[in-house]
Amino acid sequence: MKIKEKTEKIVEILERLYSETPIPLDHSSEFQLLVAVLMSAQTTDKKVNQVTPALFKAGPNAKLMSGLEIEVIQSLIREVGLAPTKARNIQKLSQIIMELHEGQIPNTFEGLEALPGVGHKTASVVMAQAFGVAAFPVDTHIHRLAARWGLSKGTTVEKTEKDLKKVFSKDLWNKLHLQMIFFGREFCPARFHDLTKCPICSWCATKKRINQEMK
């Protein structure tokens, strides 16, 4: 199957399954989205959503968050992975946002990635979902699916991101990355996945890939 035909069919299936793509992290501002995405590393969105109500009540914006002690932030997010490091980063980035950006989070990749604890993937999510800038954030779900579907041989998320940007239209990126995440969670788990019964892997994955994963 030619790559254009394959990607068009993938988009058609994902659009049918997930015509609506709500952001899975609860937030009520761009700042809160940034903090929630930062916290989601090595932690489920469900767990992040469990701790953010108390955190955002104490620090709903950069000004109030920057005034909280690191120990207080850590106690509020203690159930998420890497809580001590994330607490330090949340306080520090809040201070930087107040000192350098007048309380508003930067709206550029460069500005976001200069903040403590904010890597390219986090910045991409914020740019896409908060500012509507075309981006293709690649998490473990998307990295896995891109390999199974023969869309990338990248061993890093950075290479996978570049490959996906080449084969999918730019106007699809922001919605498509969420659709792929939803699909990965519902139909395409990392372990014990029967590719022959998957709505996409069953026709999209190569026989070599199917044989590798079913051993």
108 and 52 within one domain: yes
Asked whether residue 74 is domain-assigned, the answer is yes
Looking at the fold, whether 151 and 178 belong to one and the same domain comes out as yes
Catalytic position from the list 6, 47, 139, 165: 139
To the query of whether residue 121 is one of the catalytic residues in this protein, the response is yes
Flag whether pLDDT at 195 surpasses 70: yes
Residues 10 and 39 in one domain: no
Active site residue 165: no
List C-alpha distances in Å: 183 to 7, 132, 178: 15, 22, 9
Q: Please determine, for residue 182, whether its predicted confidence score (pLDDT) is greater than 80.
A: yes
Q: Determine the structural domain holding residue 151 and report its residue range.
A: 3-20+138-213
Q: In this structure, is residue 25 part of a structural domain? A: no
Angle at 37 between CA 52 and CA 152, to 5 degrees: 150
Inside any domain, residue 113? yes
Q: 86 lies in a domain?
A: yes
Please check whether residue 25 is in contact with residue 49, taking contact to mean a CB–CB distance below 8 angstroms: yes
- pLDDT score at 214: 64
| The last residue of a domain, from among 115, 131, 147 | 131
- Between CA 84 and CA 98 the distance in angstroms is 22
Q: CATH no. for residue 183?
A: 1.10.1670.10
Burial class (CB in 10 A: 0-12, 13-18, 19+), 94: buried
| Residue at which a domain ends, from 107, 131, 155 | 131
Same domain, 165 and 74: no
Number of residues in the chain? 215
What is the domain-level CATH number for residue 84? 1.10.340.30
Residue 193 DSSP label: -
> What does the block give as tokens for 98?
């107040």
Torsion angles phi and psi, residue 80, rounded to 5: -90, 155
pLDDT of residue 28 exceeding 70? yes
Note whether residue 100 is domain-resident: yes
Q: Using CA atoms, how far apart are residues 60 and 22, in angstroms rounded to an integer?
A: 21
Nearest one of 186, 215, 120, 109 to 159, comparing CA atoms: 120
Say yes or no to pLDDT of 173 above 70. Answer: yes
- Tens-place pLDDT, residues 100-136: 999 999 999 999 999 999 999 999 999 999 999 999 9
**CA dist 59 to 26, 67, 90, Å?**
15, 8, 10
Tens digits of per-residue pLDDT, 53-75?
999 999 999 999 999 999 999 99
97 and 188 part of one domain: no
Count of domains for the chain: 2
Residue 139 tokens, joined: 């998490």
Q: Which of 131, 166, 192 is the last residue of a domain?
A: 131
Where residue 208 falls among pLDDT bands split at 50, 70, 90? low
- 35 and 11 share a domain? no
Instruction: Work out the end-to-end distance of the chain between its first and last CA atoms, rounded to an integer number of angstroms.
Output: 25
